Amino acid sequence: MTNDTDVIPVGDPLAGTTLLQEGEYESAKESYNHTLAENAENLEALFGLGIIHQFQNDYASARQYLERAVNLTGSPEILNNYGVASFCHGDTESAISSFKKAIASVPDFLEARRNLAHAYIETGDYAEGIEAYRELLAREPNDIETLLTLAGLYEEIDDAESSRYIYERVAQLDPQNELATQALAG
């Protein structure tokens, strides 16, 4: 006798996606791998396996699956995820390139813009990072997460005036924001 939890659906990429969403990574991998055995170019299975390997911090494998998916479609979402996996794997050049391609395809893709800015900052290119955050704010001027990040960056490069201005903006948008309140009190 079996119940639903004993049966692992294989060959159906939607089953793999459902398992992935439920956090059943090993079962999802099995389902996706079975799908790929039947169709090596199944986009959903390639993307799903890339995401699973990212969650499991296996960035080399994530990159392999996501690169195959990018080559099939060039999807901005997949490009962004490939960029994240590349960055985490230490390939910042590929990461930055992927984020830029995702943004070129969908200019309002805020997550890719954040990732690009973060990649610049983490590689020490503060000028490009700050510019990327400013471009993000041009599209989403009330994005508190980006405002706080930018204020912190201005603090790091000893631009107290710009930092204070941004913290004041955050305090206007969110008077209860502890980071802004602390920064303005100090």
DSSP string, 19-49: HHHTT-HHHHHHHHHHHHHH-TT-HHHHHHH
pLDDT at 49: 97
pLDDT at 156: 86
Mean pLDDT split into 10-residue runs, the chain, 186 residues: 41 80 93 93 95 96 97 95 97 97 96 96 92 93 94 90 95 95 90
| pTM of the predicted model as reported, rounded to 2 decimal places | 0.82
pLDDT at 12: 65
pLDDT at 15: 87
What angle is formed at CA 142 by the lines to CA 117 and CA 101, rounded to 5 degrees?
A: 30
User: Is 12 exposed, middle or buried, given 0-12, 13-18 or 19+ CB atoms closer than 10 A?
Assistant: middle
| DSSP annotation of 89 | H
Indicate the helix (H) or strand (E) that contains 58: none
